[in-house]
A and B are shown apart, each in its own frame.
Chain A
Amino acid sequence: NAGVMQNPRHLVRRRGQEARLRCSPMKGHSHVYWYRQLPEEGLKFMVYLQKENIIDESGMPKERFSAEFPKEGPSILRIQQVVRGDSAAYFCASSPRGPSITDTQYFGPGTRLTVL
């Protein structure tokens, strides 16, 4: 009974490089969310996707960040031309249903991105 899978768990990039973070939701879940966590802070919502659709990207920076959830394969959070301020833990969560009061999000172990 695999939970939400994320890889890599740790990623080191130099300034200006691209970072790709992958998330495979729990089996049967078609809703994916990405959150960012800075040290000693709570998680901040970035984007909500369903298969092949971005539903809400109100928490995503306008530039350099993009997300997708293709019909086949994992969801990808892509950060282009990384800067030191992008260093954080990025968490993916999945849920089985769409927006509803009783829907619950289950989190993956996160990807810790370090930008040198």
Chain B
Amino acid sequence: GQQLNQSPQSMFIQEGEDVSMNCTSSSIFNTWLWYKQDPGEGPVLLIALYKAGELTSNGRLTAQFGITRKDSFLNISASIPSDVGIYFCAGRPEEYGNKLVFGAGTILRVKS
């Protein structure tokens, strides 16, 4: 089925450290999106990836669309306290254009 496995489930890191999280699937996806959700709010789009192999940056964030089209990773460099939140990957399955499938999220906690 169209399931995304997102890992790690949670992270507790030191301020200033780099962070890495990823999503994998057994299905092929046409698009990978990374969102951040703060408590009580909706997901906010961080990075969108549309092409296999694509590497895109947004400030301290970098994400890549895996060559196999079945995975993606997100890196955050030099983490700061405001990076705290839940990060979700979302993919658009190959067989259906507009439905997004979400991972279960990575909870990021930063020690100041």
Residues on A lying within 8 angstroms of B by beta carbon are 4, 6, 31, 33, 35, 40-45, 48, 55-56, 58-59, 91, 93, 95, 98-110, 112
Contacts and interface: CB of A to CB of B under 8 A. Distances in A.
B101 interface: yes
B88 A42 contact: yes
Contacts, number: 76
B105 interface: yes
Contacts of B6: 42
A99 B96 CA distance: 8
B24 interface: no
A91 B99 contact: no
Contacts of B4: 42
Contact of B41 (A33, A106, A109): A109
Contact of B99 (A40, A56, A98): A56
A104 B48 contact: yes
B64 to A, nearest CB: 17
A31 B50 CA distance: 20
B98 A98 contact: yes
Interface in B34-84: 35, 40-45, 48, 50
Given A41-B104, A101-B92, A110 B98 contact: no
Given A103-B98, A105-B100, A110-B42, 8 more contacts: A33-B99, A42-B103, A42-B105, A56-B98, A98-B97, A100-B97, A109-B40, A109-B42
